[in-house]
Structure 1
Amino acid sequence: IDANLFQHSLYLEKFAADKGLKLAKLIIVPTASMGFYSKKIHSLDELKKGDVITLSNDATNLARGLRFLQSLGLITIKPDLDATKASEKDIVDNPRGLVFKPLEAAQLPRTLDSVTASLVNGNFAFAAGLKLSTALKLEILDENLKNVIAVRADDIDKPFAKDIKAAVESDAYAAAINAPGSVFSEFQKPEWMKARA
């Protein structure tokens, strides 16, 4: 594989460090954000004590999910949360008495039939046929949580890598992303792309 597109910068950096790989970020691309999905409630106000919420169990996305829940006012987490070692033990206040169940990220959409809600990463929501517009809430992505195209560090200046970057920066790519009715039109754009609009 010469390039991939499946992770955000935080995940890429941790994975590369853990595996001893020399990988490099080529370019940030539009990204489907994490969503708070439910088939049982229509508003966060309906959440009650004991309601189960599933979220990703890998450390960086678990930390991300906890920060998202905090931004929604549902929990308070430790202020010095370590994104590489996060767990539900980092919750310091859970006023509604919600139950959080970390699971493999790819399984989260399937849990919606049995739990109150789930925090589903955009790529898994997309793969499961969930529309971003059906989420009760969507995460506002920091730049380091937007997906990147990654290559081997040694390949960053090779012609194929430059060609991929040029394709992503092209007017044709922007037109495809921004096309009305396109699923990609709901994706959050990277800062470089917003600056060109």
Structure 2
Amino acid sequence: MKKKWLAAIATLALGALVLTGCGKQKETTLTVGASSTPHAEILKHVQPQLKKEGVNLKIKTFQDYVLPNKELASGDLDANYFQHKPFLDNWNKKNHGTLVSAGNVHLEPIGFYSKKYKKLSDLPNGATILVSNNVADYGRVLQILKDAGLITLKPGTKIESANFNDIQTNKKNLKFKTDLEPKLMTQFYKRGEGDAVVINANYAVQAGLNPKKDSIALEKNSSPYANLIAVQKKNKNNPAIKKLVKALQSKSTQQWINKHYNGGVVAVYPNGK
């Protein structure tokens, strides 16, 4: 009788251990590099959701556009979130890289800002426009000027790879200063340098600017320059990466992006996926 009683207790204990093991979800740590604004903020928004799904999201912030891809390629990061496809393609080409996109999340509309003029058409003949040294953004700048009727481009020019040599007609003889660091553009604007300054939305928002209200011209929402989650090719189908992208593209997150940044950052999937 005593043996039967002990055997029953052992069975119950084993059952409890099995149930406890089944109920415990194995947690995966995912380290993602990101620009502080808005990328890191958006990642923080989805942290609780991912935690429930067994993903411990760690965010490493960067203040430049160079280190995030280097650390991703070396394996120090599992993913990064700061760039658009033309930038990624250009980086891969220059560095013999094989990084890929795991999915688009949002658009940061690049804009023209000026302390002197209210709209692009007000720019005087020979005006100087300050543009960063980020070559991947040149097509975006040219598209805005083209839409404003200030320039025309040579036939066959592809916006994604365009540069200032592709201008065919420059109606106001605009001059472009292009040897400037992206993170310094807001400082040039605040000091009133140049006739207009081109600023990426993440730096504009970080400096307290509202791209929708403070810019004199803003990139259209239909732009192909959506910011994405970049990963090593071998990790594109990693379950934790897929959960991250799904959370960022969800309806609730995309609505939060549009509301939180008031047009300064635009959701790629307005209705979620």
**Range into which the TM-score falls when normalised by the shorter chain:** 0.7 to 0.9
- For 1:123, the aligned partner's letter is N
2:247 partner amino acid: A
Say whether the 8 Å CA contact 2:258–2:265 is kept in structure 1.
no
Matches within 5 A, 1:136-175: 136-142=216-222, 144-175=224-255
Q: Which residue of 2 aligns with 1:15?
A: 91
Q: Which has the higher contact order (CA 8 A, sep 6+)?
A: 1
Letter in 2 for 1:187: V
Would you say the 8 A contact 2:151–2:170 is kept in 1?
yes
Tell me, yes or no, if structure 1 residue 95 matches structure 2 residue 171: yes
Where does residue 261 of structure 2 map in the other structure? Answer: 183
2:184 aligned residue: 107
Structure having the higher Rg: 2
Residue 125 (structure 1) aligns with? 204
Aligned equivalents of 2:264, 2:158: Cα separation in 1: 30
Instruction: Indicate the larger mover: 79-88 or 98-107.
Output: 79-88
Residue 137 (structure 1) shift = 1.5
Tell me, yes or no, if the aligned pair for 1:36 and 1:117 is still in contact at 8 Å. yes
- In the alignment, the residues of structure 1 paired with residue 262 and residue 104 of structure 2 have an alpha-carbon distance, to the nearest angstrom, of 15
- Structure 1 position 31 matched with structure 2 position 111: no
Matched to 1:50, the amino acid is G
Contact 1:28 1:149 in 2 (8 A): yes
Aligned residue in 2 for 1:73 = 149
Q: 1:35 to 1:84 in 2, by over 3 A?
A: closer
2:210 and 2:264 in contact (8 A); partners too: no
Match of 1:48 among 103, 114, 124: 124
Equivalent residue pairs, number: 193
Distance 1:43 1:64, change over 3 A: closer
Distance 2:109 2:223 in 1: 11
Does the 8 Å CA contact 1:14/1:84 hold for their aligned counterparts? Answer: no
The residue number in structure 1 matching 2:72 is none
Q: Would you say the 8 A contact 2:127–2:174 is kept in 1?
A: yes
Checking the alignment, whether the CA contact within 8 Å between 2:255 and 2:270 is kept in structure 1 is no
Give the SS at the match of 1:49. coil
One-letter amino acid of the counterpart of residue 154, structure 1: K
| CA deviation string 1:154-195 (max 9, x = no partner) | 11111220120121133441342243xx215542322xx235
Task: Percent identity, please.
Answer: 30
Q: Cα offset for 1:94? A: 1.4
Distance 1:184 1:146 in 2: 17
Report if aligned partners of 2:258, 2:267 keep a CA contact under 8 Å in 1.
Answer: no
**Residue segments in structure 1 that go unaligned for 5+ positions in a row:** none
Q: Per-residue deviation at 1:196?
A: 4.3
Q: Which consecutive residues of structure 2, in runs of 5 or more, have no partner in the other structure? A: 1-76
TM-score, normalised to structure 2, is: 0.64
TM-score (normalizing by structure 1): 0.86
